[in-house]
Amino acid sequence: MKKAFSERIVREIRGTVLRDEPMARHTSLRVGGPADWFVLPMDADDLQHLLALLDEYRLPFLVLGGGYNLLVRDGGIRGCVISLEKFDQLEREGENLIHAGAGVENAALARFCRDQGLAGLEFLVGIPGRLGGALAMNAGAGGGEITDSLDTLLTLKGRTFMKGEKSQLVFGYRFLQLEQGEIICQASFRLTKDDPAEIRSRMESFLEKRRATQQVGYPNAGSFFKNPPEGPAWRCIDGAKLRGVRIGGAEVSTVHANFLVNRGGASADDFLALAAKVKETVREQFGVELQEEVRIVGEHRER
């Protein structure tokens, strides 16, 4: 079965197909074992055909955004990782509607809206990664969230495309509810007309704030923990005097306490052990339960 699938995926998929691809090459933390298959479909038809193949051979899949909010365990990922990097279409419709593919970089979307004189997504300029990942976690900054301006969402489940209005979606702080196997392909945003110079100024403010507080100097996944009801996660971690604590190559950043960074040669196990230590220490000292904001996937390395 494996040989038959290998022959067919290489022959039938028009996009890029890679075998035993190290996920450390595709995640901002620069850790992660190999994916059995790593595929970049050429377009929606190619994606549909890929999903049909995976279903036929009963192989699991994981959709990758920009790899900025993801920790892949050292054992890697069985099945197929799908990158929608080639889904990078951007277009304007009418006065205030923007259509964007899931593979569009967040900063590129923010700049496109600025050039069109449309406001509402300025904060995306400071959020690394791609639109699909930002939507999947309902990314936000400066008090805004990406769902604030969302109009409709186009997803693919199996071979069926589904278009949902914002009112039909379930979302909240750092989550968007999707069905098992449902893939974000495109989103439409209804924005507000504004002076491009004013939009540029707000974007520069977001970037300046990010540079001042989040330039940690080492590979990272952004905020590692969600903010608990008690307040900012970084304040709890800082109060527990965990800045600079290190396990292997993973360290609690000395610049931003809610960033865990790769100081060089870190493994996923290093990050998992460090995250566990942070959670345990904060729980013991303050009674606060931290939850990871990063998504943790894959298998542990066999010992």
Q: What tokens does 172 get?
A: 């909240």
d(CA 243, CA 255): 8
d(CA 23, CA 38): 9
Once rounded to an integer, what is the mean pLDDT over residues 55-62?
95
Topology of domain 2-83, per CATH? 3.30.43
Q: Would residue 284 show up in a list of annotated catalytic residues for this protein?
A: no
- In this chain, the answer to whether the domains covering 2-83 and 217-297 adopt an identical fold is no
Domain ranges of the chain: 2-83, 90-213, 217-297
d(CA 203, CA 11): 44
- According to CATH, what is the number of the domain 90-213? 3.30.465.10
State the pLDDT at residue 166.
87
Comparing 276 with 207, which gets the higher pLDDT? 276
d(CA 251, CA 220): 10
State the pLDDT at residue 303.
60
- Is residue 77 within 8 A of residue 297, CB to CB? The reply is yes
Q: Would residue 223 show up in a list of annotated catalytic residues for this protein?
A: yes
For residue 24, the 8-state DSSP code is: G
Phi-psi region of 287 (alpha: psi -120 to 50; beta: other; left: phi over 0): left
Residue from 285, 280, 245 nearest 261 by CA? 245
pTM: 0.87
Residue 25 predicted with pLDDT over 70: yes
Once rounded to an integer, what is the mean pLDDT over residues 167-178?
86
Tokens 């491009």 correspond to what residue? 196
How would residue 214 be classed by pLDDT, with cut points 50, 70 and 90? low
State the pLDDT at residue 1.
61
Structure confidence by residue, pLDDT tens digits, 256-274? 999 999 999 999 999 999 9
Out of 28, 83, 223, 253, the active site residue is 223
Tokens 């600079």 correspond to what residue? 244
- According to CATH, what is the number of the domain 217-297? 3.90.78.10
How many Cα atoms occupy the beta-carbon half-sphere of 23 within 13 Å? Answer: 36
Structure confidence by residue, pLDDT tens digits, 63-106? 998 888 899 999 999 999 999 999 999 999 999 999 999 999 99
Question: What is the C-alpha R_g of the chain?
Answer: 20
Out of 8, 78, 92, 174, the active site residue is 174
H/E segment holding residue 187: strand 182-190
Q: What is the mean pLDDT of the chain?
A: 93
Q: What tokens does 187 get?
A: 């989103």
Structure confidence by residue, pLDDT tens digits, 225-255? 999 999 999 999 999 999 999 999 999 999 9
Residue 292 predicted with pLDDT over 80: yes
For residue 243, the 8-state DSSP code is: T
Residue 211 predicted with pLDDT over 80: no
Residue 159 predicted with pLDDT over 90: no
Query: ∠ CA 193-199-202 to the nearest 5 degrees?
Result: 140
Tokens 């809206």 correspond to what residue? 113
Residue 164 predicted with pLDDT over 90: no
Out of 52-56, 85-89, 212-216, least confident range: 212-216
State the pLDDT at residue 217.
83
Q: Would residue 293 show up in a list of annotated catalytic residues for this protein?
A: yes
Structure confidence by residue, pLDDT tens digits, 106-138? 999 999 999 999 999 998 988 888 999 899 888
Residue 276 predicted with pLDDT over 80: yes
CA 249 to chain centre: 23
